[in-house]
């Protein structure tokens, strides 16, 4: 049975996380031999509210898991898309290296890890997508830790979208954009022992995923289904999943059309606050167009025109970092 726990934080991540794992039954899956891998959202060189998983939520999760196992790994890949930056520097800037030393856990930059490919059917063609063997073969429980935010290309970014970051090469992610809904579905299917711990301390509205208006939400949500986690959080953000192409496609394939039969610890609807919205600037549309077109993705990221086109774009829009 799918079980979803949501609770007001009241500046106490530790208590909320402990209650969440117990109520959902996920705590029963934790043993001393259980290898747990945590994937926070770390999409900026320095911590930004509403953009990234908060350090306090990540630390509270580590503290809780240490009651059961020492086999804990935090992971993320290099980020930045066309303007790549090292995740090692982010680990340092956000205090994750300090957490690693403090609690005796491991942190891994997935961009440097071994991989094997999964095959993704995209219409009449099949695409090979490399994924880290750490996640495919060496993880007993995978915990994704997204934040609720809008996204210029995908409209919303929550639990499912967070796994885009496990594709190890940022340049490959750009090339795969036109196949996003097929690829991100199969990437998530490749991790069957997966749960979502949504860090709802802050959200991001108006623009995203890197700049926007911060929303103080003050809740945390744990679901033993990544797909249903996004169904609920998308609704809390004020969106109908049927208006979000990748969620509509994935939920149809998963047979998800309602929350009937889903167990909640309380009525999640009371956590709905202001409606999130996405207001794109004209400088966002080159990215949107390349996201949805194989030809434009090639021209914008892989052809001889890529560099001058980005130079021209940055004449009108500051780089994000």
Residues 214 and 319 in one domain: no
Q: Which of 36, 38, 21, 2 is nearest to 228 (CA)?
A: 2
- pLDDT in the model for residue 112: 93
Can you give the CATH number for the domain in which 250 is found? 3.40.50.11440
pLDDT tens-place string over residues 118-163: 999 988 889 999 999 999 999 999 999 999 999 999 999 999 999 9
Residue 154: the pLDDT is 96
Rg of the chain taking only CA atoms, in angstroms? 19
Q: Look at residues 224, 167, 156 and name the one whose alpha carbon lies nearest to residue 190.
A: 167
Which among 267, 268, 266, 244 is positioned nearest to 256, based on CA atoms? 244
Mean local confidence (pLDDT), 22-34: 96
% the chain with pLDDT above 70: 98
Task: Examine the domain organization and report whether 218 and 130 are in the same domain.
Answer: yes
Would the CA dihedral through 81, 84, 86, 90 be positive or negative?
negative
Q: Give the model confidence (pLDDT) of 169-228 as tens digits.
A: 988 998 999 999 999 999 999 998 999 999 999 999 999 898 899 999 999 999 999 999
Reply yes or no on whether the pLDDT at 320 is more than 80.
Answer: no
Q: pLDDT-based confidence at 20, cuts 50/70/90?
A: very high
pTM: predicted TM-score of the whole model, two decimal places: 0.94
- d(CA 15, CA 26) in angstroms, rounded, equals 15
Summarize pLDDT for 280-316 with one digit per residue, the tens. 988 888 888 888 888 888 788 888 887 777 777 777 7
Q: What is the pLDDT of residue 150?
A: 97
Cα(161)–Cα(179) distance, integer angstroms: 13
Separation between Cα atoms, residue 63 and residue 69, nearest integer Å: 10
Kindly state whether residues 235 and 153 are assigned to the same domain: yes
Clarify whether residues 208 and 313 are in a common domain: no
Do 16 and 124 have their domain in common? yes
Judge if 151 and 298 occupy the same domain.
no
Total count of domains within the chain: 2
Same domain, 36 and 144: yes
- What spatial distance separates the first Cα and last Cα of the chain, rounded to whole Å? 43
Question: Are 229 and 207 members of one domain?
Answer: yes
Mean pLDDT of the chain: 93
pLDDT for the residue 82: 64
Q: Does one domain contain both 107 and 239?
A: yes
Range of the domain at 167: 3-279
Residues 18 and 41 in one domain: yes
Q: Judge if 298 and 192 occupy the same domain.
A: no
* Domain identity same for 130 and 184: yes
Phi, psi torsion values for 118, nearest 5 degrees: -115, 155
Under 8 Å between Cβ of 109 and 77: yes
């Amino acid at each position: 049975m799918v079980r979803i726990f949501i609770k007001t934080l009241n500046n106490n991540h530790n208590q909320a996380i402990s209650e969440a794992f117990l109520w959902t039954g996920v705590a029963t899956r934790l043993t001393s031999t259980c290898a747990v891998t945590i994937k926070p959202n770390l999409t900026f060189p320095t911590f930004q509210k509403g953009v990234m998983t908060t350090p306090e939520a990540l630390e509270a999760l580590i503290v809780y898991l240490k009651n059961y196992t020492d086999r804990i790994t935090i992971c993320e890949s290099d980020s930045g898309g066309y303007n790549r930056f090292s995740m090692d520097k982010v680990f340092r800037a956000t205090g994750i290296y300090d957490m690693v030393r403090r609690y005796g856990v491991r942190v891994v930059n997935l961009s440097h890890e071994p991989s094997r490919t999964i095959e993704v059917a995209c219409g009449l063609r099949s695409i090979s997508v490399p994924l880290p063997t750490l996640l495919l073969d060496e993880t007993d429980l995978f915990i994704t830790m997204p934040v609720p935010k809008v996204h210029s290309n995908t409209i919303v970014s929550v639990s499912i979208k967070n796994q885009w970051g496990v594709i190890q090469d940022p340049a490959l992610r750009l090339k795969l954009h036109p196949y996003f809904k097929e690829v991100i579905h199969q990437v998530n299917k490749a991790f069957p022992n997966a749960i979502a711990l949504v860090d709802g301390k802050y959200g991001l509205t108006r623009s995203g995923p890197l700049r926007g208006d911060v929303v103080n939400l003050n809740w945390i949500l744990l679901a033993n289904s990544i797909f249903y986690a996004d169904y609920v959080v998308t609704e809390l953000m004020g969106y109908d999943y049927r208006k979000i192409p990748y969620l509509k496609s994935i939920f149809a394939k998963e047979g998800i059309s309602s929350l009937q039969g889903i167990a909640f610890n309380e009525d999640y609807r009371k956590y709905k606050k202001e409606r999130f919205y996405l207001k794109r600037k004209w400088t966002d549309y080159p990215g949107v167009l390349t996201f949805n077109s194989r030809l434009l993705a090639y021209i914008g990221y892989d052809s001889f025109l890529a560099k001058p086109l980005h130079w021209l774009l940055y004449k009108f829009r500051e780089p994000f970092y």
